[in-house]
C-alpha cells in the first residue's frame, strides 16, 4: 500500500495550503505568473502534459484545471509555457516551492532556443512536506507542513531587448511545484539574495570500483540543498537498478546512508554508479564516497530509540510488507521513504524473529509507481517458471501507485521474483498483472495491498500441495475481493466481503489446537476480524460483527508470515507484525496468533513469540508474593528499563492493582462481575493474567489467560523502573516474574 490510516490515509486527504506571497508586486512591477492552489496560469500560457492539470485528455479542460493539487504531484509530467515577450526589466523575481531537481523540475528562461537562466525549488519538498533526514528525526513530525519557498533573482540586464519565453518544467515523475510566482521588476535584489546569471549545468558523473563487499551503500543529503536525481547501478555492464535519490555529491554534506543494492554473489565484478553533478566526472577527484561492505552505518542505539523493535534508521517507516519465511530466514519488508513522494520496501532479516539485520532496500519505487503494500510467497512447486536450480523462487506481489489521491490515482497490482532467497528481486517485465485496463483518464483510488497465499483443497495452506492454486485478497473500494490464479500472472475474480479497509489478511487457525476443527480469519488494516470458513474461492463469515483485535492502542496494517513451519493444531505458525507508529515509526513485537475458546467466546489470542526469551539477561522471580496496600514495592530493584513481565494475580480481596511502568500507569480494576483493564472486560473472574513487553518507546499489553487482548501502546518514559501497588485490599501473585531484556542494536 502506502495507505494507511493515520499515515497514508492522511495523504489521501492532504490539502495544499495557499501560499501567502513573499513576492507581493509593488507599483511598476508586473506579476507574470501566480500558480498555487487558488490560481491557475493566465489563459495565454500553454499547459502541456498532465503535471499542471488533470488526467482529462482534453487539453482545453486541463488548461482550466491547472492549479496545484496533490493529485498532480506524483508521476505526472508536463510544462507550462509563457507567450513570447520582450525583456525590458532588470530582474525577474522567482518565488517557488516544490521538489528540488536542477533541470527536470525547474523554472527556465529561454532566449533564442537556449536556456539562459534557471532555478529549482530549494530547500525542496519531501514526503508530506517535511524533511525526513536524520538531523530532523528527533523532532516531532509535523504532517503536511507547507513546503518552504525559495527566492531567486534572475539578472536580466544583459538580456534587455531580447525576446524570451518562460518554461515551468515538471519532467520528473517524483517532481512537482507547490507554488510559483514570477514578478518582473527593476528593483534591486535584497542583500544576500540568490542572483542567477546562467542556467544550471547538470553534467554526467560516475563512480567505478571492483566489488569486494555485500552491500552497496550510498551517501544522501538533507532535504534542503540536495537535489533529487536518478542514480543508476551497473554490474558487469548490466543495469541492475535505477532509482531517484537525494544523493550527496561534491560539497553537499552527507547526513546518512542508504543501502541501495545487495551485492552478494557479485564479488570481484566491476561496479559502476552513474549520477549527475554540477562539475561532471573528474577521474582525479570523485564526487561521492560510496561504501561497499557488510556494515550499514548510522544506526543510533539510545534510550530514546527502540531497543528491540525494527525501526527506521533513516527516513520514514510505516506498514509491514512481504513477510515470508525462506530457508530458515524470516524476511520483513516495510514501507519506506526518504524525502521523495514515492515509497519503497525497506528490508530486514532474522533467523529467530528477535535479532534483526537491516539489508538493502528490496523494492525501489520506479516509473510505474510508488511501491505500496503487498505480500510475498515461496513458489514451492514453481508455478511461475522462474525457478533456477534447486532454489524455489520467492514472489512479491505489490501495488504500484501513481498519484496521491482521489479519482486521479492509478493503482495497479504487480509482481516481482527472487531467485536468490529474497535478497534481490526482479520486477516482472509484463506488469501489471491486475489493472492494465485502467486508462490514464480513469484511475482507481482503492485497489491495493495484495495478500497472496497457496491453497490446496486437500491440504490447506501446504505450499508443497500440487493440487492447489494461488489466492489473492485485494482491497478494492469498500471490499476485500478474492482472486485466484494458477501461475501468478492471470487472475480470476470470485467472492468479496464488504466492510474492510485496506491491508487484507486471510488465514486458517485450529480451534483450541484441534487439527480437525479449523476456521479462517479475515481482517483489514484496523485488525478487526471475522471468523469463518474458506473454500479456496469464497470466504463466509460466521461472526455477525467484526471482533476487535486491539484495544486503545497503536497497531495498524498488521501482516502475518507466509511459508512458516507447522504450529498450533498443525496449521502454519501464524506470526504477525504490524506498524506500531509513534513519532517516526516502528514495527510491533512479533506475536503468535491462536484461536481459542475464551469467556467471551471464540477469539484470536496473541502472545509474544517464544523467541523473545533469548533477549533476557536477568530474571527476578517473586512467585507467591502477597502485596498489601501501602506496602513495599517488590519490584523496586529493577532499573534496566527493558522488560518482559509475566504475572498471575488474585484480586478477590482488592479493588485495583496499579502498575507504574517507566512512568506510564496501567490499572486493573476488580468488580463483582469480573475484571477490567484499560476499558477491556473479562467477565466471571477476579484472577488477572498479564504479559507486558516494555521497550524504550512502547509497551505491549497482553490481557487474559491466552493473551486475547493486545494493546500496543507508544510511550514516552519518565523513568526506567517498575512499581506495583494494591488498592483496597491485598493481592496475591501466583506468578510474578520480571525479565530484563537487552538491545539488539549495536
Strand bridging mode 479-485 / 492-498: antiparallel
Distance (Å, rounded) from C-alpha 636 to C-alpha 655? 22
Q: Give 4-48 pLDDT, tens digit per residue.
A: 333 333 222 222 333 333 445 566 799 999 988 788 888 899 888
Q: Which of 463, 545, 541, 460 is nearest to 497 (CA)?
A: 541
251-277: average pLDDT? 96
What's the whole-number average pLDDT of the chain? 89
Using the predicted structure, report yes or no on whether residue 262 has a pLDDT greater than 60: yes
Phi-psi region of 601 (alpha: psi -120 to 50; beta: other; left: phi over 0): left
pLDDT of 74 reads 64
At residue 224 the predicted structure's pLDDT band, cuts being 50, 70 and 90, is: confident
3-state helix, strand, coil in the chain (%, to 5): 5, 45, 50
Q: Give 723-734 pLDDT, tens digit per residue.
A: 999 999 999 999
Sign of the CA dihedral 51, 53, 58, 64? negative
pLDDT of 18 reads 34
CA angle 227, 231, 235 (to 5 degrees): 160
* Secondary structure string (H, E, C) spanning 429-442: CCCCCECCCCCCCC
Q: Which of 422, 446, 447 is nearest to 432 (CA)?
A: 447
pLDDT of 508 reads 97
Burial class from Cβ neighbours inside 10 Å (0-12, 13-18, 19+) for residue 305 reads buried
E strand segments, 486-528: 492-498, 505-510, 518-523
pLDDT of 469 reads 97
- Beta-carbon count within 10 A of 300 CB: 11
- Beta-carbon count within 10 A of 21 CB: 15
At residue 146 the predicted structure's pLDDT band, cuts being 50, 70 and 90, is: low
With a pLDDT cut of 70, the percent of the chain lying above it is: 89
pLDDT of 8 reads 33
Distance (Å, rounded) from C-alpha 403 to C-alpha 70? 8
pLDDT of 70 reads 53
pLDDT of 328 reads 96
**Count of residues in the chain:** 746
Sheet containing strand 575-579, strands side by side: 556-560, 575-579, 591-598, 601-608
Q: Give 541-589 pLDDT, tens digit per residue.
A: 999 999 999 988 889 999 999 999 999 999 999 999 999 976 668 999 9
Q: Give 341-377 pLDDT, tens digit per residue.
A: 889 999 999 999 999 999 999 999 998 889 999 999 9
Q: Which of 279, 86, 50, 281 is nearest to 166 (CA)?
A: 86
At residue 706 the predicted structure's pLDDT band, cuts being 50, 70 and 90, is: confident
pLDDT of 20 reads 36
pLDDT of 492 reads 95
Residue 90 contacts by C-beta under 8 Å, 6 or more apart in sequence? 155, 156, 157, 160, 185, 186, 187, 188
Q: Which residue has the higher pLDDT, 512 or 435?
A: 512
pLDDT of 137 reads 54
At residue 593 the predicted structure's pLDDT band, cuts being 50, 70 and 90, is: very high
At residue 124 the predicted structure's pLDDT band, cuts being 50, 70 and 90, is: confident
pLDDT of 488 reads 97
Cβ–Cβ under 8 Å, residues 531 and 521: yes
Burial class from Cβ neighbours inside 10 Å (0-12, 13-18, 19+) for residue 215 reads buried
610-630: average pLDDT? 97
Using the predicted structure, report yes or no on whether residue 120 has a pLDDT greater than 70: yes
Which of the listed ranges 72-81, 494-503, 638-647 does the model predict with the highest average pLDDT? 638-647
Q: Which of 95, 102, 99, 79 is nearest to 33 (CA)?
A: 95
Cβ–Cβ under 8 Å, residues 324 and 562: yes
Cβ–Cβ under 8 Å, residues 419 and 388: yes
With a pLDDT cut of 90, the percent of the chain lying above it is: 73
At residue 416 the predicted structure's pLDDT band, cuts being 50, 70 and 90, is: very high
308-321: average pLDDT? 94
Q: Which residue has the cell 487439527?
A: 515
Distance (Å, rounded) from C-alpha 55 to C-alpha 72? 8
Using the predicted structure, report yes or no on whether residue 608 has a pLDDT greater than 60: yes
517-534: average pLDDT? 97
pLDDT of 707 reads 87
- Using the 8-state DSSP alphabet, how is residue 128 labeled? G
| Domains defined along the chain, listed by start | 8-196 (2.60.120), 203-293 (2.60.120), 316-583 (2.115.10.20), 612-741 (2.60.120.560)
Using the predicted structure, report yes or no on whether residue 160 has a pLDDT greater than 90: yes
pLDDT of 332 reads 98
pTM for the whole structure: 0.92
pLDDT of 145 reads 58
Q: Which residue has the cell 485450529?
A: 510
Amino acid at each position: 500500500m502506502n495507505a494507511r490510516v493515520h499515515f497514508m490515509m492522511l495523504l489521501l486527504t492532504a490539502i495544499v495550503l495557499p501560499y501567502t506571497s513573499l513576492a507581493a508586486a509593488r507599483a511598476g512591477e508586473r506579476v507574470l505568473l501566480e500558480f498555487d492552489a487558488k490560481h491557475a496560469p493566465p489563459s495565454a500560457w500553454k499547459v502541456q502534459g498532465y503535471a499542471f492539470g488533470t488526467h482529462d485528455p482534453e487539453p482545453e479542460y486541463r488548461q482550466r484545471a491547472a492549479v496545484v493539487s496533490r493529485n498532480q504531484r506524483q508521476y505526472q509530467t508536463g510544462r507550462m509555457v509563457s507567450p513570447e515577450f520582450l525583456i525590458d526589466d532588470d530582474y525577474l523575481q522567482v518565488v517557488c516551492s516544490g521538489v528540488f531537481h536542477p533541470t527536470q523540475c525547474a523554472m527556465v528562461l529561454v532566449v533564442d532556443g537556449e536556456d539562459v537562466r534557471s532555478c529549482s525549488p530549494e530547500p525542496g519538498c519531501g514526503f508530506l512536506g517535511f524533511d525526513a533526514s536524520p538531523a530532523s528525526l528527533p523532532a516531532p513530525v509535523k504532517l503536511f507542513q507547507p513546503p518552504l519557498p525559495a527566492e531567486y533573482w534572475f539578472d536580466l540586464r544583459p538580456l534587455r531587448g531580447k525576446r524570451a519565453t518562460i518554461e515551468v518544467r515538471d519532467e520528473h515523475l517524483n517532481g512537482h511545484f507547490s507554488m510559483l510566482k514570477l514578478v518582473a521588476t527593476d528593483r534591486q535584489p535584497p542583500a544576500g539574495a540568490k542572483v542567477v546569471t546562467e542556467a544550471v549545468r547538470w553534467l554526467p558523473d560516475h563512480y567505478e570500483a571492483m566489488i569486494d563487499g555485500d552491500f552497496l551503500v550510498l551517501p544522501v543529503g538533507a532535504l534542503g540543498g540536495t537535489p533529487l536525481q536518478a542514480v543508476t547501478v551497473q554490474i558487469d555492464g548490466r543495469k541492475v537498478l535505477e532509482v531517484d535519490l537525494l544523493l550527496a555529491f561534491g560539497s553537499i554534506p552527507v547526513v546518512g546512508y542508504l543501502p541501495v543494492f545487495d551485492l552478494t554473489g557479485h564479488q570481484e565484478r566491476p561496479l559502476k554508479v552513474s549520477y549527475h553533478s554540477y562539475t561532471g566526472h573528474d577521474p582525479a577527484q570523485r564526487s561521492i564516497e560510496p561504501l561497499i561492505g557488510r556494515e550499514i552505518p548510522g544506526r543510533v542505539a539510545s534510550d530514546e530509540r527502540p531497543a528491540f523493535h525494527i525501526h527506521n534508521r533513516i527516513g520514514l517507516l510505516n506498514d509491514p510488507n512481504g513477510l515470508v519465511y525462506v530457508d530458515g530466514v524470516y524476511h520483513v519488508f516495510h514501507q519506506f521513504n526518504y524525502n521523495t513522494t514515492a515509497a519503497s520496501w525497506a528490508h530486514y532479516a532474522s533467523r529467530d524473529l528477535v535479532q534483526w539485520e537491516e539489508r538493502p532496500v528490496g523494492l525501489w519505487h520506479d516509473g510505474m509507481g510508488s511501491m505500496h503494500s503487498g505480500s510475498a510467497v515461496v513458489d514451492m512447486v514453481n508455478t511461475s517458471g522462474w525457478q533456477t536450480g534447486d532454489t524455489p523462487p520467492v514472489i512479491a506481489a505489490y501495488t504500484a501507485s501513481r498519484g496521491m489521491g482521489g479519482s486521479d490515482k492509478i493503482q495497479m497490482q504487480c509482481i516481482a521474483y527472487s531467485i536468490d532467497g529474497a535478497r534481490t528481486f526482479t520486477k516482472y517485465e509484463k506488469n501489471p498483472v491486475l489493472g492494465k485496463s485502467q486508462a490514464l483518464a480513469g484511475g482507481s483510488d482503492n485497489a491495493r495491498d495484495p495478500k497472496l497465499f497457496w491453497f490446496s483443497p486437500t491440504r490447506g495452506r501446504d505450499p508443497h500441495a500440487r493440487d492447489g492454486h494461488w489466492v489473492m485478497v485485494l482491497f478494492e473500494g469498500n471490499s476485500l475481493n478474492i482472486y485466484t490464479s494458477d501461475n501468478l500472472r492471470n487472475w480470476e475474480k470470485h467472492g468479496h466481503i464488504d466492510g474492510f479497509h485496506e491491508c487484507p489478511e486471510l488465514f486458517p487457525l485450529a480451534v483450541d489446537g484441534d487439527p480437525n476443527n479449523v476456521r479462517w480469519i479475515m481482517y483489514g488494516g484496523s485488525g478487526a476480524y471475522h471468523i469463518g470458513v474458506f473454500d479456496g474461492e469464497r470466504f463466509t463469515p460466521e461472526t455477525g460483527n467484526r471482533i476487535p483485535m486491539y484495544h486503545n492502542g497503536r497497531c495498524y496494517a498488521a501482516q502475518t508470515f507466509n511459508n512458516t513451519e507447522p504450529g498450533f493444531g498443525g496449521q502454519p505458525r501464524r506470526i504477525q507484525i504490524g506498524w506500531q507508529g509513534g513519532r517516526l515509526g516502528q514495527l510491533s513485537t512479533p506475536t503468535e496468533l491462536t484461536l481459542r475458546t475464551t469467556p467471551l467466546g471464540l477469539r484470536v489470542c496473541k502472545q509474544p513469540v517464544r523467541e523473545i526469551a533469548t533477549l533476557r539477561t536477568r530474571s527476578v522471580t517473586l512467585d507467591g508474593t502477597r502485596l498489601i496496600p501501602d506496602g513495599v514495592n517488590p519490584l523496586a530493584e529493577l532499573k534496566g528499563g527493558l522488560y518482559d513481565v509475566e504475572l498471575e494475580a488474585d484480586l478477590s480481596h482488592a479493588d485495583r492493582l496499579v502498575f507504574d511502568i517507566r512512568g506510564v500507569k496501567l490499572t486493573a480494576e476488580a468488580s463483582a462481575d469480573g475484571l477490567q483493564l484499560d476499558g477491556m472486560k473479562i467477565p466471571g473472574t477476579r484472577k488477572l493474567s498479564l504479559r507486558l513487553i516494555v521497550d524504550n518507546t512502547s509497551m505491549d499489553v497482553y490481557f487474559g489467560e491466552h493473551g486475547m487482548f493486545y494493546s500496543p501502546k507508544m510511550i514516552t518514559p519518565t523513568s526506567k523502573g517498575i512499581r506495583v501497588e494494591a488498592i483496597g485490599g491485598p493481592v496475591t501473585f501466583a506468578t510474578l516474574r520480571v525479565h530484563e531484556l537487552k538491545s539488539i542494536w549495536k
